[in-house]
Amino acid sequence: MRPAGKTLRSPDDLIASGLAPPDRRAELEQVAARYALALTPEVVELVDRTDRHDPIARQFVPDAAELNTRPQEHADPIGDDAHSPVEGIVHRYPDRVLLKPVHVCAVYCRFCFRREMVGRRPALSRAELATALDYIRAHSEIWEVILTGGDPLVLSPRRLGEIVKALAAMAHVKVIRVHTRVPVVEPDRITPELIRALKAPGKATYVALHVNHARELSKTAREACARLVEAGIPMLSQSVLLRGLNDDAATLGELMRALVECRIKPYYLHHGDLAPGTSHWRTGIEEGQALMRALRGRLSGLCQPTYVLDIPGGHGKSPIGPGYIDRVGTNGTAPYEIEDFKGCRHAYPPPPPSAGQRRTPGG
């Protein structure tokens, strides 16, 4: 059952719902004039109004800090436009493309790297979508198509099914991956009709869930994810490392464990992109590496995402997690030194045991 209420889309809505005080109206209006605003009833219900630093509200309620743009920030921080041969397509890597059929979302994250575009541009027209599909059809090296945007799961099952059916007819496309927040922020959209629309005979469909805090995985969100998984659609996650929200080992570890409990494999932990007005969210890379060290060995391997940075200018993602092995040896000594999860270092290969340490057969 969906919570009562409407999606909040204006500063007046936020004030009327008690998510912002009236004296913040002017700053909220400034931010909302530049960046899209939406909170679904499901998100509003998750907010702890007694906590002024509530991790749910902070992700979706505008903040005046968003108006502060740093010199290194950019409207297209990961260089999508440089790799967009036709409208709606980003072809950065040889074997996969992004297909962005829609530029709206059910909610708008305050740290979004596409914040200059989402909620501002129309969906692809039928002609533009046909051109995008023709591009994929003409490039036989494309093995995987990633539906993103915007959030593709705001589309109706009929429109989503048309896209999946068109991709399914392309023999070279083997994998369809959908990136979404919908199971968390509007779980009732995950209906049998939508699940059927996602599946295509002979193709592998994956759903990648964007989630940043364990509290987002409410009972209804978990049930929506279970409907996908039990229908045979594997799920992955992607999260953004956010200052003051999930940048401590306990909070991040709780999120990763909660995901695995939901049968969702942690996939990416993104270092914050250089999107305009997001400097207050970004951590240092060394902080992120320290967090990954804290997770390694203390949580199951199932709980380990890959910490990545999307290189500005369109050069793609690179893993930036901590290193555990160094080449140190020369002249016949052990060539490597490797660090364990406790921080102790060990020669590799280890030196042979001394004569006194060797055990003879039967010894």
Catalytic residue among 93, 188, 243, 293: 93
Given 13, 54, 80, 310, the catalytic residue: 310
Counting beta carbons within 10 angstroms of the beta carbon of residue 306, is it exposed (0 to 12), middle (13 to 18) or buried (19 or more)? middle
- Considering the domain architecture, whether residues 331 and 303 belong to the same structural domain is answered as no
Bridge partners (DSSP) listed for residue 14:
none
Q: Which of the following is catalytic: 24, 92, 181, 222?
A: 92
Give the strand order in the sheet containing 235-240: 89-93, 96-99, 144-147, 175-180, 204-210, 235-240, 264-270, 306-311, 316-319
Is residue 273 annotated as part of the catalytic site, yes or no?
A: yes
Q: Please report whether residue 1 resides in a domain.
A: no
Same domain, 20 and 96: no
The residue segments making up the domain with residue 340 are: 325-363
Of residues 100, 108, 112, 181, which has the active-site annotation?
112
Q: Is 174 exposed, middle or buried (0-12, 13-18, 19+ CB in 10 A)?
A: middle
pLDDT for 228? 98
Number of domains in the chain: 3
Catalytic residue among 100, 110, 273, 303: 273
Whether 241 and 263 share a structural domain: yes
Q: Are residues 117 and 235 in the same domain?
A: yes
225 is catalytic: no
CA dihedral sign of residues 268, 274, 278, 281: positive
Tell me: do 201 and 292 sit in the same domain.
Answer: yes
142 vs 88: CA distance, rounded Å:
15
Are 123 and 257 found together in one domain? yes
Whole-angstrom distance, CA of residue 310 vs CA of residue 238: 13
Report the predicted TM-score, pTM, of the whole model to 2 decimal places. 0.93
**Which residue is catalytic, options 80, 108, 109, 303?**
109
- What's the confidence (pLDDT) of residue 120? 86
Q: Residues 48, 125: one domain? A: no
Do both 36 and 86 map to the same domain?
A: no
37 within some domain: yes
> What is the SS3 assignment for 267?
strand
Q: What is the pLDDT of residues 76-110, one digit of tens each?
A: 999 999 999 999 999 999 999 999 999 999 999 99
Q: Classify residue 70: in a domain, yes or no.
A: no
Is 262 one of the catalytic residues? no
In a 3-state reduction of DSSP, which class is residue 114?
Answer: coil
Residues 264 and 357 in one domain: no
Q: Which of 114, 115, 177, 282 is catalytic?
A: 114
10: which 2 tokens?
A: 């204006």
pLDDT tens string, the chain, 363 residues long: the values are 678 789 999 999 999 999 999 999 999 999 999 999 999 999 999 999 999 899 999 999 999 999 999 999 999 999 999 999 999 999 999 999 999 999 999 999 999 999 999 998 889 999 999 999 999 999 999 999 999 999 999 999 999 999 999 999 999 999 999 999 999 999 999 999 999 999 999 999 999 999 999 999 999 999 999 999 999 999 999 999 999 999 999 999 999 999 999 999 999 999 999 999 999 999 999 999 999 999 998 999 999 999 999 999 999 999 999 999 998 876 666 789 999 988 899 998 888 877 656 555 554
For residue 68, being part of any structural domain is answered with no
* 317 among known catalytic residues: yes
Q: Which of 9, 96, 227, 265 is catalytic?
A: 96
- Catalytic-residue membership of 93: yes
How buried is residue 189: exposed, middle or buried, by Cβ count under 10 Å (0-12/13-18/19+)?
A: buried
Distance CA 258, CA 266 (A): 10
**Per-residue CA distances from 105 to 98, 137, 182, 291 (Å):** 16, 27, 8, 30
196 is catalytic: no
